[in-house]
């Protein structure tokens, strides 16, 4: 989480196990909103590299997949706690810190299970 000046004020990791990228994006959004709420933030701008999730959250795409509907509902409920929530799509290459944290969460989850990260 960044403040208005761009300074990192909080980070969080939450391994999910096996999940699709969009499920992981929804969980990251929920985690970020919870973190912002804990810090008393009232206006939130979220930058995500999943265009599908961004468009679903902003309402321009329908949520067709049943497994995403519950997560979408949870996001809408969480967003009600804020004065404003803006969700923007950014390409993955412009979202390096989020990508770094996602990779770290994967590595930690694998190490907790005694596995090593698969080679790419």
Query: pTM above the 0.85 mark?
Result: no
Q: What are phi and psi of 46, to 5 degrees?
A: -110, 135
Q: Three-class SS of residue 33? A: helix
Tens of pLDDT, residue by residue, the chain (120 residues): 656 766 566 666 565 667 788 998 999 899 999 999 999 999 999 888 899 999 999 999 999 999 999 999 999 999 999 999 999 998 877 777 666 766 666 676 666 655 554 444
User: What are the domain boundaries of the chain?
Assistant: 21-102
Q: What top-level class would CATH report for the domain 21-102?
A: alpha beta
CB-based contact 58:33 (threshold 8 Å): no
């Amino acid at each position: 989480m960044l403040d208005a000046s761009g300074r990192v004020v909080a980070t969080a990791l939450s391994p999910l196990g096996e999940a699709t990228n969009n499920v992981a994006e929804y969980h990251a959004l929920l985690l970020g909103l919870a973190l912002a709420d804990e810090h008393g933030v009232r206006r939130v701008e979220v930058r995500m590299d999943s265009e599908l999730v961004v468009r679903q959250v902003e309402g321009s795409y329908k949520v067709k997949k049943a497994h995403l509907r519950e997560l979408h509902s949870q996001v809408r409920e969480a967003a009600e706690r804020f004065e404003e929530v803006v969700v923007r799509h950014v390409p993955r290459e412009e979202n390096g810190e989020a990508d770094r944290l996602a990779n770290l969460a994967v590595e930690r989850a694998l190490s907790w299970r005694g596995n090593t990260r698969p080679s790419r």
